[in-house]
Each structure stands twice: as C-alpha cells, then as structure tokens.
Amino acid sequence: MKKLAIISVAAVTLLSSTLFSAETLKILTWKGYAPKALVEKFEKQTGIKVELTYSNNEEMISKLRATRGAGFDLAQPSQDRISSVQAKYKIYKALDYSKINSSQVITSMLEAVKKNTKVGNESFAVPFCYGTSGLIVNTKLAPNVKDYSDLLNPSYKGKISYRLKRPTLIAIAFSKGDDPFAKYGDVKAYKKLMDGVAKDLKKAKPYVKNYWANGDALLGMIRSGEVTVAMGWDNGGWKLHKENPDLDFIAPKSGALGWIDTFAIPSKAKNVEGAYKWINFILKPENAAYFTNDSGYGTASNGAIALLDAEKKADFQRSFSKADIDNIKWYPPVPAKLEKIEGKILDKIKSAR
C-alpha cells in the first residue's frame, strides 16, 4: 500500500513537471482562425505549444461563464458580445494595450472595438478580423435574389437555408425596412419588432429546407444544388465562387451585417504573456495576409492589405459596390435583456408547425 502511494506521488510530480516545462497556450476560437501553418510557425519561434478549441459566440460565453473565466488563455468573441457579458459575469481581464503592437492594427477599427468593449474605464478586446453576413446564392437557379426577404420567398420553396440564430432575426427586421439596432435601447419596441419578425418566419417555415448549424454542411448543400438561397458568411460564398462561378456571395439590398471578431483574455488565464505574444504574432502583416488569403475573412492588420492575393480583392469588389459598403450594418454592442427575448422567439419559430 505504501509502495503504491509513493509510486503515485512520483507519477503525479513527474506528470506535472512535464506539463510545466512545455509552455502551452490554450485558445478558444472559431474554425479557420488559426491556420495550421501559422500555428507551427508560432510554435517554432516561441517554443509555446498551441492548443485550439473551436467554438462560437454563445458557447464561448457559456464555457467561460461555467469556469468563471478559467481554462483558456485567449478567446475570440465578437466585439458586440463582450461588454454586457463582461459587466454581468466578469469573465475577461482588462487588456493592457501597451503590450499590443498597435501600429500593426488599423487605427479606426482598434478605436471602435475599444469603445464598444468598454466597461467602466477599461476595455477588453483587440480586433482580429471582420466580415459580413449576407446571401449566398446560386445565381443560375435563383437569378432574382436581391434581399433577405427572398429567404421567405415561396418561389424558392425547399431550396432555402438559414441559421436559427439572432443574425437571421436582425436581417429579416432590416428587410422589413426597420432598424433593429436603433431599437436596442428600448426593450419594448425591440420585442414588438421581433414578434413581427417571428410571425414572418413562422409563415415562411414551409419554404425553408433546414436551419443550418454547421458552415461546412451549408456549403456542401449549396455545392450540390440542394440549396439555392442561403444566409451565410461572405468568405463561404467566395470559396464556392472559386469552384463554380454560378455560386456567389451577394450583399443584400437592405445591407450586409458587419461583424468584427476580437481577442479577449479570460479572467483566469494562466499564460497571459503567451496570449499577448500570439496577438502580436498573428497581426503581423505577413501572417495576417496569410490568414486572409487562406480563409477569406478580412483582417484588422494594418499592413496586410498590400500583401493580399488579387483574387481576394476581386471577390470583395464583385460583391460590394461603393453603395453596398456604405450600407453595411455594423453590430453595436448587444444590451443584456435582448438575448432572453430572442431565445424565446427562436424557440417559438422552431416549434411552429
């Protein structure tokens, strides 16, 4: 018995010492945000081992809330989902902007993110990449698609797909000629608007093929022609366009929805220095350009634009006219109460017959 105890103590110390010797950096991120080549380059330069966990906004918040901000060294939430969550659950650490090489970041974007993630006197995030949600369309089979309202159009019955998540509610609200962002501050008016949106989505439920949950699965369905009109991210549409010129991303008439994803450091992060190292590494122009060329998302890195493939620029210009760019609706920070309203509405739509 005594022998067993000694062996187990020895094993534990051995295990923990090997864990400490190899410095690790645990990143909670989205799929595609840390390309393999860049991870390897970072590991080689710094000797820090990178561990990636793929997630989305809602799960990121829930995971960090469950551990009260422990378990990860770096997270990548969208800029609009930080301030209210931080005020309530305190899951992030205030950033030390002096540790970030801010000459590498596009100034206007950095300032906007700082402002939108402010709680008290401190800010909590640095921009990493941006993109838009709009329509991914098979222009041959569905040539007249112009706006989100086509997601409810009976003439594409059984060929429509969208996510049953908050961006869809917001998109439909915009296509009704309303401005949901202006109503963020007024819970009653927002609820009334969303009830109207829910009514439309319920009425159009027979026309939708499915509510997609996985971006790759959606691209698969558009590729095979099973879906001809979908709401999705711009880079997905451009990826498909490269394979088949009939498929493309379209900026909707009532405005593409613009998001910015960020870096934020969880409040109980162990390797804070490593996290700053990663931020500064991935925003270096050559690395950021590699990321954008690889994934198709826009980058917040300052010098990267000059290093982008011509094809990426062509994608952007084909989908966005000057007017479309001016019409992009950037998400303002989400106030607390809204998620509860939206959650109930989404449940109602899903259970409707």
Partner 1 sequence: MPIFLWLFLLIVLPHIELFLMSLKYENDMGDMVWSLQNYGEFFAEEIYWLTFIRVALYSILVTFLTFVITFPIAFYITKIVSVKYKGFLIILLLMPFWVSELVRVYGWMILLRESGVINYFLQALGLIDKPIEMLYNDVSMIMGLVYTSMLFMVVPLISSLDGMDDSYIEAAHDLGASKIVIFFKIVIPYTAPGIVSGSIVVFMLTLGNYLTPNLMGGKNSLWFTEQIYNQFIASFNWNQGAAFGFLLLILSSFIIWLGLKLTKQNLTKALS
Instruction: Describe the crossing of helices 36-46 and 285-295 by its angle, rounded to 10 degrees.
Output: 160
Residue reference for tokens 């010797």: 21
Contacts (Cβ under 8 Å, ≥6 apart) of 336: 84, 87, 88
Nearer to partner 1 by Cβ, of 153 and 327: the residue is 153
Nearer to partner 1 by Cβ, of 61 and 119: the residue is 61
- Tally of CB atoms within 10 A around 338: 18
Amino acid at 142: A
Q: For the CB of residue 202, give the shortest distance to partner 1 in the complex, in Å.
A: 11
Task: Show the site string, 213-242: x = touches partner 1 by CB under 8 A, - = not.
Answer: x----------xxx----------------
Residue 347: φ, ψ to 5°: -60, -40
Q: For the CB of residue 338, give the shortest distance to partner 1 in the complex, in Å.
A: 10
150 lies in the site for partner 1, by CB under 8 A = no
Q: For the CB of residue 326, give the shortest distance to partner 1 in the complex, in Å.
A: 32
62 lies in the site for partner 1, by CB under 8 A = yes
Within residues 73-92, the interface with partner 1 by CB under 8 A covers 85
208 lies in the site for partner 1, by CB under 8 A = yes
Q: For the CB of residue 138, give the shortest distance to partner 1 in the complex, in Å.
A: 14
59 lies in the site for partner 1, by CB under 8 A = yes
Q: Which stretch, 71-79, 101-109, 207-215, 301-309, contacts partner 1 (CB under 8 A)?
A: 207-215
* Calpha distance 271→276 (Å, rounded): 9
Nearer to partner 1 by Cβ, of 113 and 160: the residue is 160
210 lies in the site for partner 1, by CB under 8 A = yes
Contacts (Cβ under 8 Å, ≥6 apart) of 286: 304, 307
* Calpha distance 339→141 (Å, rounded): 36
* Calpha distance 236→252 (Å, rounded): 15
Q: For the CB of residue 59, give the shortest distance to partner 1 in the complex, in Å.
A: 6
Residue 105: φ, ψ to 5°: -110, 140
Q: Return the half-sphere exposure (C-beta side, CA atoms, 13 A cut-off) of residue 57.
A: 16
Q: Which stretch, 56-64, 113-121, 174-182, 248-256, contacts partner 1 (CB under 8 A)?
A: 56-64
350 lies in the site for partner 1, by CB under 8 A = yes
353 lies in the site for partner 1, by CB under 8 A = yes
Are residues 135 and 148 in contact, defined by beta-carbon separation less than 8 angstroms? Answer: yes
Q: For the CB of residue 7, give the shortest distance to partner 1 in the complex, in Å.
A: 19
Intra-chain end-to-end CA distance of the chain, in Å: 64
Helix, strand, coil content of the chain in percent (nearest 5): 50, 20, 30
Nearer to partner 1 by Cβ, of 28 and 39: the residue is 28
Number of residues that bind partner 1 (CB under 8 A): 29
340 lies in the site for partner 1, by CB under 8 A = yes
Nearer to partner 1 by Cβ, of 129 and 338: the residue is 338
Nearer to partner 1 by Cβ, of 25 and 61: the residue is 61
Nearer to partner 1 by Cβ, of 49 and 348: the residue is 348
Q: Where are the alpha helices (DSSP H) in the chain?
A: 2-21, 36-46, 57-66, 83-89, 107-116, 166-175, 187-203, 215-223, 234-243, 272-282, 285-295, 310-319, 322-326, 338-351
Positions touching partner 1 (CB under 8 A) are: 58-59, 61-62, 65, 85, 158, 165, 205, 208-211, 213, 224-226, 336, 339-340, 342-344, 346-348, 350-351, 353
